Amino acid sequence: MGTDQGGEKVPCADCGKFLRRDGLKTHKSGPQSCVIKKFACDLCPYRGISEPFLLSHQGRVHRKKVYACTEEVEDCDYVAASKDNLRGHVERTHLTLEKKFKCGQCEFRSAEEGRVRKHEGRQGPRL
């Protein structure tokens, strides 16, 4: 068998791929390893090497919570991916903060100058 940078190539006992002996351990433990991934997700093609990996995957991918705005004052349909994002939305949009910054092109107002600038940038040039 040939050598690669001084390391003898040997076959992996699990998948048969030839690797340098010093890379075999990494090959078996890396994210794209050849280890048999027997823990299958029942919602998508993902397969994990252990139950904790599978549960972590399912929590990240399939159990995403959404937080809907419950403020009924303005019939708001805002949906956030986290409680913090929803809290920020409610504070910016529905609480009685003084909205002292106004868009120069429409009636949009905000308590934050940066939000008005961003809004104006989306409005396009003045006519």
pLDDT in tens, the chain (127 residues): 444 454 788 887 766 778 888 887 777 776 556 667 788 888 788 888 788 888 888 777 877 666 778 876 666 777 777 788 888 888 877 776 677 888 888 888 887 788 888 888 877 665 5
Q: What pLDDT is attached to residue 31? A: 58
pLDDT at 55: 81
* Pair of tokens at residue 3: 């050598």
Q: Which residues make beta-bridge pairs with 7? A: 4
47-48 and 67-68: which strand pairing?
unpaired
Asked if 115 and 123 count as a contact pair (C-beta separation under 8 A), the reply is: no
The CATH number of 3-61 is 3.30.160
Phi, psi of 48 (to 5 degrees): -115, 160
| Main-chain phi, psi angles of 47, to 5 degrees | -130, 135
The answer to whether 49 and 39 have CB atoms below 8 angstroms apart is yes
Q: What is the pLDDT of residue 3?
A: 46
* pLDDT at residue 4 in the model: 45
Round to whole Å and give the CA distance between 98 and 92. 10
